[in-house]
């Protein structure tokens, strides 16, 4: 882990804690486990001001290319639950993949339990979207 722990912008952290608290439901047991692990990781996260968050850290609306040890590669965008769109590869923070990625940075390798089993994924690139509102702007 490049920075030693998850890094989250203050307002995004508050938003994330709020939606994790109200999203006691999950589509399946594995997703529940992922959200619980994210909740646990948030306890040790670095919470920083907007100006202090590194460009290569995954946050809401970041576009991320990930590579799996199983050989697949995918580019996705991490979004708030209401903006998820599978056709456009926009994944919700309330999915196993979304929970696995938030707060990590480019070059990090994560081992996570997904619905398809435990996998190791590498974050290849992280691009920040400047056109879309972040949850911090709507909180």
Task: Tell me: pLDDT of 65 over 60.
Answer: yes
The confidence score (pLDDT) of residue 1 equals: 86
Give the residue-averaged pLDDT of 82-108.
Answer: 94
CATH placement of domain 7-131? 3.10.50.30
Give the residue-averaged pLDDT of 88-93.
Answer: 95
The confidence score (pLDDT) of residue 27 equals: 64
d(Cα 15, Cα 136) in Å, to the nearest integer? 7
Structure tokens at 109: 């390798």
């Amino acid at each position: 882990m490049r920075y030693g722990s998850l890094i989250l912008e203050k307002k995004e952290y508050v938003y994330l804690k709020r939606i994790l608290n109200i999203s006691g439901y999950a589509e399946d047991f594995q997703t529940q486990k992922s959200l619980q692990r994210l909740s646990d990781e948030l306890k040790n996260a670095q919470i920083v001001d907007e100006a202090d968050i590194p460009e290569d850290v995954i946050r809401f609306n970041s576009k991320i290319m990930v590579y799996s040890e199983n050989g697949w590669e995918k580019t996705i965008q991490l979004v708030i639950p209401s903006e998820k769109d599978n056709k456009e590869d926009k994944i919700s923070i309330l999915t196993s993949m979304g929970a696995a990625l938030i707060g990590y940075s480019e070059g990090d390798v994560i081992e996570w339990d997904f619905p398809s089993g435990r996998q190791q994924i590498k974050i290849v690139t992280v691009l920040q979207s400047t056109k879309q509102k972040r949850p911090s702007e709507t909180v």
